[in-house]
Chains A and B, each alone.
Chain A
Amino acid sequence: MSSHPGPDKEEDFDAWFGEAARKILRDAYFVTRNPKLAEDIAQEATLKFFKAWGNEEMRGKILTQPGYVRTTIYHCYLDHVRVPSRTSQREVELDVARHDKSSTEIDRDLRLAVLALGDMERDMIVLHYYHDLTIREAGSQLGLSPSQAYRLHDSALAQLAGLLDEGKA
């Protein structure tokens, strides 16, 4: 993979970034709930997209798969909080708390449970509840038929409830 897209592709990247930047920052804020950390994570993810832009296949994924962009942002966050050995849910939680002492009312357990879902389930929850898309619209973005979208939504809620119950135990 090239480390720089090259001058001919830079303009394309610039145009894409102009469209996607706010969404990238908001997705980063979704996981961090900390404006400073969100900007760091968003910048790190943007660098990855910039470096990948010269590769046609990667550029195609960035342009056509919003889920890929979101997953990259979430992975940047997890990389940020990951300790060398392994990251536990508790470690992630502690990091969030460390970075976000002022926002005690934030439902951190819920946010961490959403991040622990599979990619499709997580994207359905994020798109429907946090990006204000209908279940059908969210499903369409994920390449699903309406009936598949409703099933995914129900399954994601059930998994989320399970994760939150586990957290209480």
Chain B
Amino acid sequence: MGVEKRLLEDARSFANEVTSLDEEGFISRTRAALGLPPKDSDTVTESENEETPGGPAAPSGQPRQGHQISDLFVKHN
């Protein structure tokens, strides 16, 4: 198969896959981890958290378990 055809097929598959990403959850968790003030849209319910592809539900306003951005601050400083 030609390179361009492979790219087009992969891009089609990619476009379908990204629709299932939990973008709102990512924004909410990352903003919370950076200590940015919560926004109305950051409110994530328990049931929504259970559905996130990022693993177990995190308490509202907290990063996912196992990935604490504050730890990275310490590591990089």
Residue contact A22 to B55, C-beta cutoff 8 Å? no
Bound together, the chains give a CA A3 to CA B34 distance in angstroms of: 11
Residue contact A42 to B73, C-beta cutoff 8 Å? no
Residues of B within 8 A of A (CB): 3-4, 6-11, 13-15, 17-18, 20-23, 26-27, 29-31, 33-34, 36-37, 53-55, 63-64, 67, 69, 72-73, 76-77
What is the distance, in angstroms, from B64's C-beta to the closest C-beta of chain A?
A: 7
Chain B, Cβ-Cβ closest to A111:
B10
Inside 8 A of A33's CB, which chain B residues have their CB? Answer: 17
Residue contact B30 to A130, C-beta cutoff 8 Å? no
Residue contact A17 to B30, C-beta cutoff 8 Å? yes
Given A22-B27, A42-B26, A43-B63, 20 more pairs with CB closer than 8 A: A14-B37, A17-B27, A21-B26, A21-B30, A22-B23, A25-B23, A26-B21, A39-B26, A39-B29, A40-B67, A42-B30, A106-B10, A107-B13, A110-B3, A110-B10, A125-B7, A129-B11, A130-B11, A157-B3, A164-B3
A72-120 residues with Cβ-Cβ distance < 8 A to B are 105-107, 110-111
Which residue of the partner chain, among B4, B22, B69, contacts A157 with CB atoms under 8 Å? B4
Bound together, the chains give a CA A26 to CA B15 distance in angstroms of: 10
Whether A3 contacts B73 in the complex (CB less than 8 A), given A26-B21, A39-B54, A40-B67, comes out as yes
Residue contact B14 to A130, C-beta cutoff 8 Å? yes
Inside 8 A of A21's CB, which chain B residues have their CB? Answer: 23, 26-27, 30
Chain B, Cβ-Cβ closest to A22:
B23
Whether A107 contacts B9 in the complex (CB less than 8 A), given A35-B20, A43-B33, A130-B14, comes out as yes
| Number of chain A interface residues as a range | 35 or more
Whether A47 contacts B72 in the complex (CB less than 8 A), given A39-B64, A40-B67, A130-B14, comes out as yes
Residue contact A110 to B26, C-beta cutoff 8 Å? no
